[in-house]
């Protein structure tokens, strides 16, 4: 009969033990900022409302449609103050 190997106290196998003294902070940060990323972290209260990525995408698409519709309704200011026009007679 084979004897069981003793597992370490912390429950991790030896191959999963990582030496954090050799870790580099922010190693891939610059590359992520230049290439971009497609991962978004939701706050817990928002994640409770949107259960899937499809639900989040649907909500964002509807928000984009509303913003497009309202953007056409407003005009951009010319930057000049509005005042009374002179009436020439």
For residue 71, what pLDDT band results from cuts at 50, 70 and 90?
Answer: confident
Helices (H), 29-72: 29-35, 44-49, 53-71
Domain boundaries, the chain: 40-71
Q: What is the pLDDT of residue 45?
A: 94
Q: Which two tokens stand for residue 1?
A: 């009969």
Q: Does pLDDT of 62 surpass 90?
A: yes
Please choose, from the candidates 62, 35, 41, 66, the residue with its C-alpha nearest in 3D space to the C-alpha of residue 53.
Answer: 41
pLDDT at 76: 65
pLDDT tens digits along 1-57: 676 666 666 777 777 777 888 888 888 888 887 887 777 888 999 999 998 889 999
Instruction: Please report, for residues 39, 47, 68, 82, 83, the alpha-carbon distance to residue 76 in angstroms, rounded to integers and kept in the order given.
Output: 34, 36, 14, 13, 17
């Amino acid at each position: 009969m084979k004897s069981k190997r003793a597992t370490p106290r912390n429950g991790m196998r030896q191959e999963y033990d990582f030496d954090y003294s050799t870790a580099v902070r922010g190693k891939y940060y610059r590359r992520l900022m230049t290439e971009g990323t497609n991962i978004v972290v939701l706050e817990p209260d928002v994640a409770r409302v949107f259960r899937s990525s499809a639900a989040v995408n649907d909500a964002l698409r509807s928000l984009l449609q509303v913003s497009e519709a309202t953007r056409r309704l407003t005009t951009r200011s010319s930057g000049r103050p509005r005042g009374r026009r002179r009436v020439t007679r």
